[in-house]
Structure 1
């Protein structure tokens, strides 16, 4: 559905997701150790773990979320996928963290990290989807359609394309329309 120029946009979206995962861990550890306890040594110790969730997220995000066929899933599917992704990140992070950290991981920090990360990833998806939809409506990411023929099935299809600009389709030419293209204000290819 998306054209070639959007691959760069997808790459930056991926990097921004990874940045949000890192920021989530930073915020969770800051809240836990600096706001609630004022323990800067524990804060620094736990900040050293930041590569773990980022690497785990990099693997799962790339593997499951950055294919052009999956960009505009239904909201409920996307949110459930993000929830499962976040759960996988948490599980692998906990396993790796317990093996690398001499002391136990803070459960409160992990809970904070889970919720902050989920909120950030969902907000990023909302902004990303709205941006893509606006580009599609403006025609920047649209697929050009060349229509040939006429009939009720063609009329229904054209009506659907015209009434749903967010689908990313643009009728560039209608051949063999017998004047119907001009009636609907579409370019005719006679």
Structure 2
């Protein structure tokens, strides 16, 4: 029997090819345009399929979506298809000799997104009706006394159409029916219970002095065909959830963000192209700001300051100079404040409008920064805050950005540092290309002119 994941890939492939063909037909048969690109479109088709299927796989769209909301699945489809389309544009830009019109790619993106989303919605509705009739259910046996089990059950029951049925609880050690969320207690040997209940999966978790029972159970039943899933007892917060295999030993990274390398490539590659294009477009603005800085006070146009970036490495971050040149180098280690006497009138203007930040486009082109990310601090403050603020150094797990989640939430200048760090950690934990797009969009309305920008 064809498994669900393979069926989804086959249908997605058909949708991708139909969308690509539809975009071609609309563009060249119903609208005026180039002719004779049919062979080129056929050559590109396999790459579109492979890129999109890979993007969907990385977005976990071919895994079980039982414990995922309808909205999350639709959003994942939208995000993955957009990432694939952006990558396609970049790939064609650097490799294709024939020019594929942007209108064609845009039409393909629109058609494929609508069809892929409609397919997922239809599939969910069909599965829900099938499960309401008692088919395609997942019967789960709970074993152990861990609090993680109760959390798992509560989450599973939030998704009404998941098809998960808890058939019983073994070895709960006196937990009340209320604690067990009315799952019946099962007594007897595991073999007898498994034979009578026929579970599709076993969820096990022990805590405290009985945690050894988890390893014992796995050792005794490792060769069973029924899937065994372990809920580990973790009492600390994690930024990521990367699990590596170290010669058979599972190793969990707790302070490394779980970043998709494919999306990171799009982030940095797309950011570079956008920055290069932006530098050309705003070159007149850069010229007039540079002229204003030069006329406002003696000294260099640009001001370079050491900042701490990715993995704690220092780099020189550039700004348009907004202050008179300091006599004492220690004055450059000041926390940003509104009443700095060295600030010029023109400097006050470019700070309030964030025009002083534009030279950091050079840092982006050099690969030291990116358009969106946690804002970098001076080494002096980094060394100070790392001993005062828990989790502060986690912000250095990504390249620093010209704008960030903290900045679009009004946390600039002399604002609450703890809240800024919370925003940075939130950004790292929840990073996606779409969060970057959202931040860039909000920067236009909130970031450039801000009451805390000075």
Q: Is the 8 A contact 1:57 1:89 kept in 2?
A: yes
Separation in 1, partners of 2:25, 2:167: 54
Alignment of 1:152-171 (within 5 A): 166-169=161-164
Equivalence for 1:67: 63
Q: CA RMSD in A?
A: 2.9
**Aligned partners of 1:26 and 1:47 also within 8 Å:** no
C-alpha contact 1:21 1:54 (8 A) present in aligned 2? yes
Shift of 1:136: 1.1
Would you identify which runs of 4 or more consecutive aligned residues in structure 1 move more than 6 Å? 171-176
Does residue 108 of structure 2 align to residue 113 of structure 1?
yes
Pairwise CA distance, 1:98: 2.1
Q: Using the alignment, how far apart are the partners of 2:128 and 2:30 within structure 1?
A: 39
CA distance in 2, matches of 1:175, 1:95: 56
- Which structure is higher in strand share? 2
- Structure 1, unaligned stretches of length 5 or more? 148-156, 177-190
TM-score normalised over the length of structure 1: 0.69
Which residue in 2 is equivalent to 1:23?
Answer: 18
**TM-score, normalising length from structure 2?**
0.31
Residues paired across the two proteins, number:
156
Change beyond 3 A, Cα 1:140–1:113: same
Q: Residues 104-183 of structure 1 correspond to what in structure 2 (within 5 A)?
A: 104-144=99-139, 166-169=161-164
C-alpha deviation, 1:82, in angstroms: 1.4
SS at match of 1:58: helix
Quote the offset at 1:23 in angstroms: 1.3
Structure 2: gaps spanning 5 or more residues: 143-152, 169-182, 186-454
| Shift, 1:57, TM fit | 0.8
CA distance in 1, matches of 2:71, 2:139: 29
Mapped partners of 1:167, 1:71: distance in 2: 4
Q: Which has the larger radius of gyration?
A: 2
Contact 1:94 1:105 in 2 (8 A): no
Change (3 A) 1:67 1:146: closer
In the alignment, which residue of structure 1 is the partner of 2:237?
none
Query: Normalized per residue, which structure has more helix?
Result: 1
Among 51, 70, 76, the alignment partner of 1:56 is: 51
- Equivalent pair of 2:67/2:162 in contact (CA under 8 Å): no
